[in-house]
Amino acid sequence: MVRIGLISDTHGLLRPEALAFLAGCDHIVHAGDIGTQAILDELGPLALLTVVRGNNDKGPWADVLPESASLRVEDVAIHVLHDLAELDIYPAAAGVRIVVCGHSHKPLVQERDGVLYVNPGSAGPRRFKLPISIGELIVTGGEVSARLVELDIPKAR
């Protein structure tokens, strides 16, 4: 069994609640709009890290990040990109089982044509009335399950 933490759209804010959720993961995927190199520096020691550049990731630290990434965990192929509208492969034909994205800040787990699409939502600053959320994949051999979690963020006083 492999536990993959999913995070996106931190926009420079890595909340302690997100770090607590990601503790113990075997792998972490950040689906873009990271915000700063400091976020990657904090996530890196926790687990193997796969990251992609989001549309708001600018500057020399972000220029080296890929726009998409592919990885294989056990028997499961995963494709990561920031904005699902920019998906330039047909995942099922490419043998991809899971597509992880961000950008919309809207948490989503949806299966289409045998491909599981997961957007963990935004773990950074609140946008509109959308939840602050994060996600995880559990991979066992060729089986996968996805879970989204709304972070319990104390209300500002």
- Domain boundaries defined on the chain: 2-150
Q: Residue 123 is encoded by which pair of tokens?
A: 């773990």
Average pLDDT for runs of 10 along the chain of length 157: 97 96 97 97 97 97 97 96 96 96 96 96 90 97 95 70
| Whether the Cβ atoms of residue 39 and residue 12 lie closer than 8 Å to each other | yes
pLDDT of 156 = 57
- Give 2-150's CATH code, choosing from 3.40.50.620, 3.30.450.20, 3.30.70.141, 3.60.21.10: 3.60.21.10
Cα–Cα distance for residue pair 72/54, rounded to 1 Å: 22
pLDDT of 155 = 66
Cα–Cα distance for residue pair 75/73, rounded to 1 Å: 6
Q: Please spell the DSSP secondary structure of 14-70, one letter per residue.
A: --HHHHHHHTT-SEEEE-S----HHHHHHHTTTSEEEE---TT--SHHHHTS-SEEE
pLDDT of 157 = 40
pLDDT of 127 = 85
| Whether the Cβ atoms of residue 68 and residue 78 lie closer than 8 Å to each other | no
Statement: the pTM of the whole predicted model exceeds 0.85: yes
